[in-house]
Amino acid sequence: MAENEKTKETSTNSLNDERGRGAKPGKTLKDYIPYLIIFASLLLVILYLLLSGVLSQDSSSNPNLEGDVYIEPVLYSGEVPEPVLKPEFASLFLDNVPDTRRVKLLMDPMNVETEGKFESLVLDQASILYISDSVRTDYEVEYSIYEMESPEAASQVLDYYTTEKGWNTVPMQIGNVTFWLWEGYKENARRPANMEIYWDNSSNGAFLPIDRRGTYYIARSSEELMCLHGECAKDKYFIMVDIHAPMWKVNDFGDYFFTEAAAKLNALDTASTK
């Protein structure tokens, strides 16, 4: 947004003072008029460039703007299908969460947060968004699973979050799984109220208004949703369970999701012994 602009008013007295301190004898106010015109013209050019730069930046970041007109997204009225997952991924995602719908998430959070550092080590990836059955949702969970080329690669990504960046520093051990938590709500990190969750009909998936916006939405946050993110490495998988819920709910909701996710991941140990 453009900053408030301050204008400077120069009085006749101040000009007289300046002339008295350094002007050549015989100079009058009339002699300075051409300089004042040039100075004022430069100020107008600078002001124009600043304003045009700010406005063009805002416009380019919001595809819902056509010219100067904001296009309000509308509620998507079509069918929102259940995500189709490969069998090896399907068994690792939570299902049958009460009063919750699962939607394909068209985002790649690990690749974005690590700035593509581990992209070459990823064999496959799937992400699901968990939101309320109603249009007004008081939670959203971004659940992503990455199949890495080796267990060492999965541990390498986790080490980036815990040690290299120091984001996830609180361990939460459940069975043979340890989630490392980033308690963002303690830093007042949150999703805003009335945040739209957009729908991309061509890809049958949803996305958040982080890098882009859409024409249709399938849900809106009913209030501010605080952040509680958990990451872990299990065998060759790197798992992200990013909770967003109201302050009064975020810890209990996180405990539920992390516990259920750990149960899915612990089942990998049972499968490997068969």
Whole-number pLDDT of residue 241: 98
Whole-number pLDDT of residue 51: 53
CA-CA distance, 130 to 140, in Å (whole number)? 5
Contact status, residue 49 vs residue 55, Cβ threshold 8 Å: no
Nearest to 129 by CA among 110, 96, 106, 146: 106
The phi, psi pair for 260, rounded to 5°, reads -65, -40
Nearest to 83 by CA among 99, 71, 94: 94
Query: Running along the chain, 274 residues long, what does each successive block of 10 average in pLDDT?
Result: 36 33 47 72 69 37 47 93 94 94 97 97 98 97 98 98 98 97 98 97 95 93 98 98 98 97 90 59
Whole-number pLDDT of residue 142: 98
User: Could you give the residue range(s) of every CATH 3.40.1000 domain in the chain?
Assistant: 74-273
Whole-number pLDDT of residue 211: 80
Contact status, residue 110 vs residue 238, Cβ threshold 8 Å: yes
Counting Cβ atoms within 10 Å, is residue 41 exposed (0-12), middle (13-18) or buried (19+)?
Answer: exposed
Whole-number pLDDT of residue 34: 72
Whole-number pLDDT of residue 28: 58
- Other CB atoms within a 10 A radius of the CB of residue 117 amount to 14
Whole-number pLDDT of residue 8: 29
Pick the CATH number of 74-273 from 3.40.1000, 2.60.40, 2.30.29, 3.10.20: 3.40.1000
